[in-house]
Structure formats: C-alpha cells, structure tokens
Chain A
Amino acid sequence: MRAVVSLFAGVLFGIGLIVADMTNPAKVQNFLDIAGTWDPSLMFVMGGAILVTMPSFMYLKKQEKPLFGEDFGWPSRTDLDLKLVTGSAIFGLGWGLGGFCPGPALTALPSIGTGTFLFVMSMLAGIWASNLQDTRNANLGKVQY
C-alpha cells in the first residue's frame, strides 16, 4: 500500500507542476526576473500548495501515526547552520541559471529533450557528490559544513 501511495502522490505532484507550468524553465526564470519580464505566477503556485498543506499538516501533527506507516518522519532540526545557507544559495544560483528545480526537471524528463536530459544527469551527479561528501565527513568524524 505504501508503494501505491508513493506512486499516486508522485503522479499527482507531477501533474500539479505541469498545470502550474513549473516544467517550463522560461516561466520560472520570469518569476525570478524582477528587473525584467517579471511573472509573479509562481507565488500563486507556492501559495496554493501551502494553503492546502499547512492546515493538513497541523491536523496530521496531532495524529499518532500515518495510515500505512510506523511513524511520521517530521524533520526535527531547528538549528540554523552555514551549510543550510550556502547549500540553498548554490541551489538558487543553479535554479535561476537553468530555470529548473529538481521536481519539474524530473517531470519534464519524458519529453525527451536533450537539454532536460543533460540537466537531470548533472543534477543527479550533484546530489551524488553531496552524498559522497556526507559519507566521507561522517567517516572522518568531521563537523558537516
């Protein structure tokens, strides 16, 4: 059942991205282009998503466990560290440069565009590199940054 939930949520998430036109890099870049051809649509995408998610999460937080799982995987960290800020800044630069964040890039992949394929392969390499760095730092007992 967990597999069905994941699969269905993935399809619905992707369709939401398509309906919202987030799979169009030009649309995303125009949202970020406040000095040029600014298109504020993506504010409404985020707003619409939060409007549904926030009250639902508030309700779910009071529940003991999910329908088909042992526990809720609510994130527990509350500290603000440098890694969070530098990572997000690096992500944002790439987001502006390519007009894709991870979800829309994967959703657009079956369109078989060479550009999307190149972007997704590079993105996977980037995530992999970060995984490797985490593993290495953990083995060395180093503080993560």
Chain B
Amino acid sequence: METAFTPVSALIGGGLIGLATVILMAGNGRIAGISSIVGHLLPPLKDRFALPQSAFFVVGLLLALPVYKFATGAVPPHVMTDNAVVLVVAGLLVGYGAARGSGCTSGHGVCGISRLSARSIVATLTFMGAGVVAVFLLRHVFGG
C-alpha cells in the first residue's frame, strides 16, 4: 500500500524524538535506546539502578497515543499485516536482534549517529540494509 511523502511532519516528529532524547540525557544522563530500556525491565533484572527510570520511560511511551488522541482527536493511520505467523517471527527477530546488536533505530540510529559512533553507524547501515532485503523478499519475491 502506498503512503504519501510527508517530509514536514517527518521532520517535526523527528525533532520531537530528538528533543525527548536530549531531555533524557540532560536530565538523567541516560541514552534513549528503546531496546536497552526494555531489556532492563526483563529478567535477570541485573541493573537495579536503571529499573525504575526505564519503567517510567516505557509508561510514558504507552501514554503517548492516548495523550495524542485526547489532544488532537485524530487517530493515527495504522496498516499492518494480520498474518499471525509473520508478526510473531518479526517480533522475535526484532527483539532478539536489537538486544544482540546492542541497540535499535533509537539507540544506534539517533543517539549513536549523533555521537558519530562507528559501532552505531555500522549497526544502522546493517539493519537498514537487512530491512530493505526483507521488504524486497516479502513484496517482490514472495509477493506478500
């Protein structure tokens, strides 16, 4: 399904993501990497110090959609596959891969690139490349 090119809302949304990232670092000294933050909330819970603030950040993420809907009255568009097998496999790959690779789109793609970290630049190029391959196979080879 086609989506419209929306550079302005993309820039504004990206700016807000950046602002949130800066607030978390300036206030608490933490990197806004979602996969790491979620990892702190799952066993073995070895980083007791990171636990409460990670929990508050995730609660904030979960509140964002209700707050957005309340403030704007708009329901953001959402189109995804209803194939349960695809969703479970995709979820497992995203969770396991991001944790193994020490970060996802936020930790590597935004925070890491902003620090000009070689590790994050390699990671970002790798997951974008793999994402292009996955979508190519899904849409143009297997015709999903």
Contact = CB atoms under 8 A, between A and B. Distances in A.
Q: Do A and B come from one complex?
A: yes
A50 to B, nearest CB: 5
Given A84-B102, A91-B104, A7 B17 contact: no
Interface in B76-121: 76-82, 84, 86-102, 104-106, 108-115, 117-119
Interface in B1-46: 1-7, 9-32, 34-35, 38-39, 42-44, 46
B42 A53 contact: no
Nearest to B96: A126
Contacts of B128: 32, 92
B39 to A, nearest CB: 5
Contact of B34 (A60, A78, A94, A102): A102
A106 B34 contact: yes
Contact of B60 (A10, A43, A51, A97): A10
Contact of A69 (B28, B58, B61, B89): B28
Contacts of B81: 25, 98-99, 115
Contacts of A127: 35, 38-39, 42, 95-96, 98-99
A95 B127 contact: yes
Contact of B110 (A4, A53, A71, A102): A53
Interface residues of B, number: 111
Interface in A89-135: 89-103, 105-111, 113-116, 118-133, 135
A119 B130 CA distance: 19
Counting contact residues on chain A (CB < 8 A from B), the size range is: 35 or more
A33 B23 CA distance: 33
A32 B138 CA distance: 11
A44 B98 contact: no
Contacts of B131: 32, 92-93, 95-96
A33 B1 CA distance: 11
A120 to B, nearest CB: 7
Contact of B1 (A26, A43, A77): A26
Contact of B92 (A17, A50, A70, A126): A126
Interface of A: 1-27, 29-30, 32-37, 39-54, 56-57, 60, 65-75, 77-80, 83-103, 105-111, 113-116, 118-133, 135
5 contacts: A20-B14, A20-B16, A71-B29, A98-B81, A106-B62
